[in-house]
Amino acid sequence: MNPAVPALALGALGLVDAAFSGFRAYAGRDARIRKHRAVTRAALRGLAVGAAALLAPALTAGCVLLAADDRARAYAVLADGAIGYLAPLALYAAAVLLSLAAYFVLPFRASTLAVVVGLGPLTLLRPVVVGIACLGAFAGGGPASLLVGAVAGLAVLYVEPFVHRRWYAEALTADRSLRPPRQR
């Protein structure tokens, strides 16, 4: 396997997670019925923040490679760590995709149950899964991989709170006169 494949897969997972994080930062804060454009905007905001945040682990990996005496060996170690980091995240992503498939395929009540039983707990488990992925990175590649994995985990977990605070901390209402005054 090409050693770049796990890194590309992790980057793709991180970007998809960032888009979902943007959606979660927005979800439940808007009472309008038709909000496709707002949902898309929220996902794009999460994607943009996530793309910028994912530069941190890439820069960390670059610094690890530049500081290494044997760059080929350091690259192989980071690739092994990336595989260890990817395994728990791939299982988590498969469970999320299964829940999403149930949401879109099942009838209304069953799909609602799938969201409550599947996606809700899975969202709460994200930090735990990232922690397990960090352990996988350490087991696969040692301290250097743990460093890159921890930075990646922090970057991924940073997106939702940032998007929420930046764009959705206030209540969303169609009529601006109904918004509560800003507190200073």
What's the CA gap between 44 and 183, in Å, rounded? 28
**Could you tell me what percent of the chain has a pLDDT over 70?**
91
pTM of the model: 0.84
Hey, CA dihedral for 102, 18, 159, 82, is it positive or negative? positive
Q: Which of helix, strand or coil describes residue 100?
A: helix
Q: How do residues 37-74 score in pLDDT, each as one tens digit?
A: 999 999 999 999 999 999 999 999 999 999 999 999 99
Confidence of residue 139 (pLDDT cuts 50, 70, 90): very high
| pLDDT value at residue 119 | 87
Computed over every residue of the chain, the mean pLDDT equals: 90
Residue of 165, 181, 174 lying closest to 31 (CA atoms): 174
**Non-local CB neighbours of 87 within 8 Å, separated by 6+ positions:** 133, 136
Rounded Cα–Cα distance for residues 125 and 133 (Å) = 12
pLDDT at position 22, please?
Answer: 94
